[in-house]
Amino acid sequence: MTEPLLEVKNLTKIYGQKKNLLRSGNQVLAVNNVSFTVNKGETFGIVGESGSGKTTIGRMIMQLVNHTNGDILYKGQKYSEFTKESAERFKSKVQIIFQDSGSAFNPRKTIGSQIAYPLLKKIKDRKAVLDEVIKFIEMVGLSKEMAYRYPHELSGGQRQRAGIARALILKPELLVLDEPVSALDVSVKSQIINLLENLQKKYNLTYIFIAHNLDLVAYFCDRIAVMYHGEIKEVGSTKQIYQFPHNPITKKLLSSILTLDGRYKVSN
């Protein structure tokens, strides 16, 4: 259970470029010397205010942006030492679900064809691909007619389900969930969270859950990292963080949770 799947060591990201003749050299330190480990099968939460660098970490894990310094290790192998084959394998094992499902799909292609796309590279038999797509669409709770619809014909919740189907079709091990429910309605939000929980059990998935609403994080995550201005201020199990927060930032974030009985009471 405690076998590390992903290790992040002294990770740093600086946006912007060095000063030269043409550039003024505006640099932003988005992520500063961050280290953490994500174990197999767990849900690791990254919380922080906007601009704290949590999304940047998710993108670096996905290799959507390159890191400036430090290392990310997937199953003990450094990203920088990936061969062509291992990079290919890695890409099918790590997937992402975006916050805004509206912009995560190509508006000109049907949902089904976009879910099928990653699979078409692996399987040549189109009938088999179609069967697989239908299977996954039904698994995330959509009807199979949805495969022939365009993204704009689906509601936000349905699109997010389709996003989950697309991410799962290559049978990944690690899913980066970048605020997957913050754009959704209350009742749909819990539908998606429950779906993600069930899928985690079924496929033994590991989640990295990036969010800013702490009540959901408390419910969903096993361990939590609290970020502030590009640095991780505190890492611990959910209970540790919520019961005995040490860092003032953590306390501030916790005390801003609004529950049904007013503000969340932070113990000192």
Partner 1 sequence: MRRMNNGSTNILEIENLTTTLRIPGGKVSVVEGISFNVKAGEKLVIVGESGSGKSMTINSILQMVPDSLIDSYKGIIKIDGENILEMSKRKFKDIRGKKISLVAQNAMTSLDPSYKIGKQVMEIYRHNHKKASKEEAKKETLILLDKMGIKNPEHVFHSYPHELSGGLRQRVVIAMALTGNPKLIIADEPTSALDPTLQLQILDLLNEINQKFGTSILMITHDFGVVSYFADRVIVMYAGEILEMGTVDEVINYPLHPYTKGLLKCIPDLSWLDKEDKIEKRKLSSISGEVPNLAKKLTGCRFAPRVSDIPEDYHESSPKMHKITDTHWVRCTCYQYYLKDSIAGLEGVK
Tokens 């916050």 belong to residue: 99
Query: How is residue 154 written in tokens?
Result: 């689906």
Binding mask 11-50 for partner 1 (x = CB under 8 A): --------------------------------------xx
Query: How is residue 182 written in tokens?
Result: 């913050």
State which residue, 93 or 212, has the beta carbon closest to partner 1. 212
Quick check: 187 binds partner 1 (CB under 8 A)?
yes
State which residue, 82 or 264, has the beta carbon closest to partner 1. 264
Q: Which residues pair with 7 in a beta bridge?
A: 37, 73
- For 50, residues 6+ apart whose C-beta sits below 8 A from its C-beta are 212
State which residue, 18 or 201, has the beta carbon closest to partner 1. 201
Q: How far is CA 24 from CA 16, 31, 34, in A?
A: 10, 21, 27
Distance from first CA to last CA of the chain, Å, rounded? 31
Q: Which of 144, 194, 202, 248 binds partner 1 (CB under 8 A)?
A: 194
In whole angstroms, give the CA distance from residue 83 to residue 101: 32
Q: Which of 175, 193, 221, 232 binds partner 1 (CB under 8 A)?
A: 193
Q: For residue 121, count other CB atoms closer than 10 A to its CB.
A: 10
Choose the stretch contacting partner 1; rule: CB under 8 A; options: 2-10, 29-37, 119-127, 211-219.
211-219
Task: Please report, as ranges, the residues that interact with partner 1 according to CB under 8 A.
Answer: 49-50, 155-157, 185-191, 193-194, 212-216, 218-220, 238-239, 242-243, 252-253, 256-264
